[in-house]
Structure 1
Amino acid sequence: MALWDRFKESAATMQTQLMAKKNDLKSGSFRDASMAMCALVAAADGSVDPAERQRVASLIATNEVLRNFPAEDLQRRFDDYLNKLTADFAFGKVGVLQEVGKARKKPVEARAVIQIGIVIGGADGDFDKTEQAVVREACFALDLPPHEFDL
């Protein structure tokens, strides 16, 4: 099986796992960490073009698990994190990873945040090395082993 086919299968499995836990994923720390993760993936290469920003915002709005929260609230948080990253990527990344790390207290939420990052990263058909690297860093912020997610 080709690498991309394995990844698509893995992303679909992760989305299914997220749906199974949807009722457990309603806390503010999960909401904030998820939006921070989405911003990290969107800005993984150090910049975000308007089309990419819109694509990720659309994915956030249509993700069934994230529908636990008001769409405009998610959009505002995503934009805030993305603005921090685009203003100064290195400095912004430190703060955004700290936000991701707040979900570490609840293992179900921590794993769900990583799964959302992988689903968002692969939605365009290319979960590239820079996206994988920021998701791997998020694993460390959440005290999760990256190999658990094939990273």
Structure 2
Amino acid sequence: MALWDRIKDSATSMQTQLNAKKNDLKSGAFRDASMAMCALVAAADGSIDASERQRVAALIMTNDVLQNFPAEDLQTRFNDYCQKLTADFDFGKVAILQTIGKVAKKPTEARAVIQIGIVIGGADGDFDADERAVVREACFAVGIAPTEFDL
């Protein structure tokens, strides 16, 4: 199976798992950690260009699990996290990983945040090394072994 197909299959599988847990994923901590993860993946290479930001924002708005939250609220939070990363990537990343880490005590939410990172990263068919690296860091922030997600 081609790498492209494996990435697409993995992202589809993750989204299916997320949809099955949709009703368990309604907390503010999950919302914040999910938007932090989306911003982190969007900025994985150290910068966020306008097209990548729009692509990730579109994916957020169409993600079934994230429909639990008002779209404007998600957009505001995503933009705020992107701004932190744009202003100072390294410092912003530390703050964002702390936000992601707040779901560590809720395994369902922690896994869902990691899955959202994988879905967002793999949505374009190229879950590149930078994206994999930031999702791996997020795994450590929530206390999940990256190997659980083949990272």
| TM superposition score category, shorter chain reference | over 0.9
Alignment match, 1:81: 81
Q: Distance in 2 between matches of 1:75 and 1:142?
A: 23
- Contact conserved, 2:41 with 2:120, CA < 8 A, in 1? yes
Alignment match, 2:59: 59
Alignment match, 2:104: 104
Could you tell me how far 1:14 is from its partner in structure 2?
A: 0.6
Q: TM-score, normalised by structure 1?
A: 0.98
Q: Distance in 2 between matches of 1:148 and 1:118?
A: 12
- Contact conserved, 2:114 with 2:138, CA < 8 A, in 1? yes
How many pairs were matched up? 151
1:37 aligns with 2:37: yes
Alignment match, 1:149: 149
Alignment match, 1:46: 46
**Which structure 1 segments of 5+ residues have no match?**
none
Could you tell me how far 1:115 is from its partner in structure 2?
A: 0.2
Q: TM-score, normalised by structure 2?
A: 0.98
- Contact conserved, 2:7 with 2:126, CA < 8 A, in 1? no
Structural RMSD (CA): 0.6
1:108-139 residue CA offsets vs partner (Å, 9 max, x unmatched):
00000000000000111111000000000000
* SS of the residue 1:54 aligns to: helix
Alignment match, 1:114: 114
Identity %: 78
* SS of the residue 1:83 aligns to: helix
Could you tell me how far 1:3 is from its partner in structure 2?
A: 2.2
**Which structure 2 segments of 5+ residues have no match?**
none
Alignment match, 1:92: 92
